[in-house]
Homo-oligomer: A and B are copies of this chain.
Amino acid sequence: MEEIRIIEVKQSVFEDNNKDAEELRKTLKAEKTFLLNLMSSPGSGKTTTLKALAKELSGKLRWAVMEADIDSAVDAEAMLNAGVPSIQIHTGGMCHLDADMTRQGLSQIDTKEFDLVVLENVGNLVCPAEFDTGASKNMTILSVPEGDDKPLKYPLMYETCDLLVINKTDVMEYFDFDMEKVEKYAKMRNPDIEIIKISAKTGEGISKLADWIIKNVNDWNN
């Protein structure tokens, strides 16, 4: 996996995405591969967070990344440079991935060889939350510069996610961001959502996030 592979995926012809997602989840469970669906706005730091995780997860998990974007391969390049096997998926203009598109991407990875595959979804707080990708767990990142009102405006994203990561805490003092408010709003959408605060840039909180991932991968694979 030394050079960047770009996979063009096509919108699903399956009518029942939920059924399709359940089947994919079952297959991955049997293969002992945990699929983490990572969603957020553009620019909240999905790739930077994964790069920061590369060191923490090294030697503890065998993992790979599927980068989904409409165009470019900058994210897969960044992950390969960080030493993580990665492929770039192009969605043909689509704003999200569904379960079949996810399967098309996964077919290019030898999933049995990995404990964890992270799907970095298209940067978008609306559409990705509407489609079950077949993931074991869903995670969203909200970065401090985006503001604390996002759970009010994009309810489904927070209802769908198991984990909310609040990123760019290193610039808290330059923005009007009320941590208590965002936690309150997120819990209002989803009382069970877990919250971890990080700065992917400085490394703050990354070991906590790595622990969450390792625990969830182990629960899934055992």
Residues of A at the B interface (CB closer than 8 Å) are 41-44, 69-72, 74, 93, 95, 122-127, 130, 143, 145-147, 149-150, 152-156, 168, 170-171, 174-175
Contacts and interface: CB of A to CB of B under 8 A. Distances in A.
A60 to B, nearest CB: 28
Q: How many copies does the complex hold?
A: 2
A152 B71 contact: yes
Nearest 6 CB-CB pairings of A with B = A43-B146, A145-B145, A95-B126, A72-B152, A41-B42, A43-B147
Given A95-B127, A171-B171, A174-B174, A153 B74 contact: yes
Nearest to A173: B174
Contacts of A95: 95, 124, 126-127
A153 B71 CA distance: 5
Contacts of A70: 126, 153-156
Contacts of A171: 145, 171, 174-175
A146 B42 contact: yes
A72 B149 CA distance: 9
17 contacts: A41-B43, A41-B146, A42-B125, A42-B150, A42-B153, A43-B147, A70-B156, A71-B152, A72-B153, A74-B152, A93-B156, A95-B126, A123-B153, A123-B154, A124-B125, A145-B146, A174-B174
Contacts of A69: 153
Contacts of A126: 70, 93, 95, 122, 124, 127
